Each structure stands twice: as structure tokens, then as C-alpha cells.
Structure 1
Amino acid sequence: MNKSTGILITTIVLAFGAYLLSTKSDDISNQPEPSYTETNESIPEENSSKLNFQCDDGKKFSLEYFQVSNSPGPGEIYIPNSITGLDLKFSNGSMERLSFSKVSNGGRINQYLNQDSTVLFQTDIDKAFIKQNGIVTYNNCVVVE
């Protein structure tokens, strides 16, 4: 291959690469910016699912969240990978709105942490517990009607 052929091939490759980069950046720049909305309002009932739990020592809490998948089998607890707009209402009347992310999926056991890692919600097929600041506050919780 002579020098002019090498220069021609290099020029063609560079021009083609520049073309690919320009079309790729056009695709990205034409995408709309995603929008996120945070709210302190309760989740509309028609768009959410609610589970009521009964725990040891007569403690109760209810969990309201968006249902994003098919329902589980009878008696099973199913909560999606990412929970936003979660309302936890405790038996003492207090209510907390938290967002959780799934941190582990060990087969039967699923763990969810809130954003500052102070509340852990864990499910195991038909039982759940809540740990707040490292202390189990709601234990052996089962879904009740």
C-alpha cells in the first residue's frame, strides 16, 4: 500500500467515525429530559396496594405502595424492587412516608432500606419485620385482612 492510499483510507475512517459520533449525539440530544415529582400526598387508593400486618406483642402496621406486578400466590408477600411513596402507619397512630430500595434478594428473603438506612423492612414469603435504627421494633409480622 502506498502513502496516498493509506492517507485516503485514514481520511475515510475518520470521516465515518465523525459521522457516527454526530448521529449518536443527535439521538441523545433529542431525548426529553426525565421528570421526577416528589409528593407528600397519600397514594391514590386506585393506584396502590395495601397490606395490613399483625406482629408480636399486639403491634400492627399497614403498608401502602404502588403495585407494579402481578399479585403473588395466596399467603405470600410481594413488594416490588423499588418502593416509592410508601406509607407506613403504625399501631401507635404515627405515620411515616418513606421510599425504600431493595438491597438484597436472597431467594425467599427480601430486604428494603429507606434512603438514610435507618429503617429496614424485610419480608420472607409470609412474614415480615421492621428494624428501626438497628433495633427490631415489629417482629414476626403476618398479613391480615
Structure 2
Amino acid sequence: MNSKLAAIAVSLLLLSSCAPNATPTTSTTTASVQTNDTKLLNGSWRLISLNGKAVSSADVSRTPQLTFQVAEQRVNGFTGCNRVFGGATATATHLTFQHLGSTRMACAEENLEQPFLAALSDTTLAYQVTSTQLTLLKENQPVLVFTRTKAE
């Protein structure tokens, strides 16, 4: 009986050695990366959503706005109370803000200035742009959504 078990074991060993070597397969999944035409950024954009909440357009003159000049790597705009200005560099997937500054006028009424500047303070944000809408994303979540007001 032991010889039968030994014969079966040897047979199984021989059969397994004849089987083709299985090579482990690895699958790499890369996230789809949106590529943008950076020239579409040129022009003025009015804020319509901040951190997932719609921005009231009751008084458009008090709504935060940004104007990009891609070739000059510049951005300027309005926070709802003060002017904002600085550098902005665009790649096909990200916007990098540098040396943002703003005027410091006192504002009597409640406005979006602080949350707007806080969102812009994340110096590098992913973005998606079309001819009519600009979305700035942090960790794939929209933080600022703009609508075009004027193209350049």
C-alpha cells in the first residue's frame, strides 16, 4: 500500500512538472487624466460654486471672479471684497498659483472672500476647462466652479 501511495505521489509530481509554467500577471490601472487646452483658461471667469455650494448671483458685481493670462502666467480677480493678483502656471492637468496677494479693504457685509482665498491657497489644483466652465479640483472633488464671462 505504501508503494501505491509513493507511485501516486511520483505521478502527481511528474504531471505538475510537465504543466506549463504559469507566469503571474500583473495589471496596472492608471486613472484617466483629463488633459486641457490651457488656452481655454484665458479670459474672465465668475464663481458659481464654492466647496460644493452654489454661489448666489443676486449681485454679480460682488461675486468672486478670476481672469487668467496664460502666456504671461498671471491671474487677477476679485474676492467679493478685495482685488487678488499673482502668478498662475497651467499644465494640461494642473493649475499652480504663486505669490497670490490681495488688497486689504475692510468689508462691512458678509462675503465669500475668506473661503474663496482659502480654496485658492491650495497652490496646485487639478482642473477641467471647457469653453464655458472651469472647475478646480482638490483630490478629485470640485472646490471652485466658474462660468466664463469674457474670453480673450
Question: Which interval holds the TM-score relative to the shorter structure?
Answer: 0.3 to 0.5
Greater relative contact order structure (CA < 8 Å, 6+ sep): 2
- Which has the higher Rg, Structure 1 or Structure 2? 2
TM-score (norm 2): 0.35
